[in-house]
């Protein structure tokens, strides 16, 4: 890990302890090691704002108003601040190590595989023999780990804006960061919007956007110009898989994203979902799009993982994704179809 990350670990002990943690320390002195601005009496609660005063913003989060998910903390392993965000890693009692960026859980060891496997294999198993793949974000390395299962892939570009996320992940989440060890991976540190602006037209078979929630600077990653740049970078019949929030909390955002993508991508557009307990409401969605060209049937994988997996380089078994889960992920509940009007014209995945 770089010098900046090392200094960040030292800063953990220099931060001003918030009043809530001082109170907890007074009653249970031995818990001093788990004090942090988002930890109250040994419990981590998601917070949108990196502010030390979580009492004011914790119920007010614009992405999941009126609710919170708490994880009990064993110890704080790392606390630092990069040029872009606050980074926290803690050991939880039931979910293993947890990575938090600006107060929002990004992954936990217990269930990370569900998200990483789905966001990678839903697109890559929907097209024959993908060769060139771009990952936007994904600094923890988990998506790279899953892409490396595909022996047909020749080049994996990853554009991550925050190098400290990579350094922290390599130190505390080696089972995810192992993805960076694949010789096909080419790392680009920088802004994804700028990277895509300069990408050759039609270069990629697949683009996977593993982004943060669309708040603040990340807002432009769900807007039309960004999707237009992705469409330009994809070959005819190329595919996009974009993280697309929770159907229980963000139907308006899902509706907007699908509408934009239907205007931008002239192939097909679909919404899929998976169960990930540590994410708000316990589910996360994925937007699957293809450009005009060879037809892409997202609902029926033409490149099944069971046949293409590069077993020689991936001794660790998949724990969530398979071809049955792939097909089932596109079955949507009735309330979502009603509330997200852009979904009302989706074909029924169970009809022949």
Residues designated as active site = 210
Q: Can you tell me the distance from the alpha carbon of 24 to that of 302, in angstroms, rounded to the nearest whole number?
A: 55
Backbone angles phi, psi at 44, to 5 degrees: -90, 130
Q: Which of 88, 94, 92, 99 is nearest to 138 (CA)?
A: 99
DSSP 248: T
Q: Which two tokens stand for residue 154?
A: 């020749």
Please list the alpha-helical segments (H only) found in the chain.
3-11, 19-27, 54-57, 112-124, 142-147, 163-172, 174-177, 192-198, 224-233, 251-264, 305-308, 323-328, 334-339
Q: Which of 50, 38, 37, 47 is nearest to 84 (CA)?
A: 50
In angstroms, the Cα distances linking 40 to 53, 85, 104 are 11, 21, 15
The residue with tokens 């600094």 is 139
């Amino acid at each position: 890990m770089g010098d900046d990350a090392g200094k960040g670990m030292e800063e953990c002990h220099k931060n001003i302890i918030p009043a809530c943690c001082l109170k907890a320390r007074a009653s249970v002195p031995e818990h001093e090691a788990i004090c942090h601005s988002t930890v109250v009496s040994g419990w981590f609660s998601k917070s949108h704002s990196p502010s030390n005063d979580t009492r004011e913003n914790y119920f007010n989060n614009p992405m999941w108003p009126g609710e919170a998910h708490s994880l009990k903390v064993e110890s704080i392993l790392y606390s630092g601040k990069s040029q872009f965000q606050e980074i926290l890693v803690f050991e939880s009692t039931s979910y293993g190590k947890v990575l938090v960026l600006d107060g929002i859980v990004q992954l936990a060891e217990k269930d990370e595989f569900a998200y990483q496997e789905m966001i990678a294999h839903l697109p890559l198993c929907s097209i024959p023999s993908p060769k060139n793949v771009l990952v936007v974000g994904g600094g923890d390395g988990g998506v790279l780990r899953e892409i490396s299962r595909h022996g047909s892939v020749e080049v994996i570009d990853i554009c991550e804006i925050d190098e400290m996320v990579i350094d922290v992940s390599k130190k505390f989440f080696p089972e995810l960061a192992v993805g960076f060890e694949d010789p096909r991976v080419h790392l680009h540190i920088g802004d994804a919007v700028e990277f895509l602006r300069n990408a050759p037209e039609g270069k990629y078979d697949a683009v996977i956007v593993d982004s943060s929630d669309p708040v603040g600077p990340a807002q432009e990653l769900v807007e039309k110009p960004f999707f237009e740049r992705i469409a330009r970078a994809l070959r005819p019949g190329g595919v996009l898989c974009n993280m697309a929030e929770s159907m229980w909390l963000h139907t308006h955002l899902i509706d907007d994203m699908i509408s934009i993508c239907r205007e931008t991508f002239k192939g097909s557009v679909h919404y899929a979902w998976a169960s990930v307990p540590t994410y708000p409401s316990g589910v996360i969605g994925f937007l699957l799009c293809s450009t005009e060209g060879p037809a892409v049937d997202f609902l029926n994988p033409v490149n099944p993982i069971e046949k293409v997996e590069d077993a020689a380089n991936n001794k660790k078994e998949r724990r969530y994704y398979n071809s049955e889960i792939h097909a089932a992920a596109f079955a949507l509940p009735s309330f979502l179809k009603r509330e997200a009007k852009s979904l009302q014209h989706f074909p029924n995945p169970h009809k022949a």
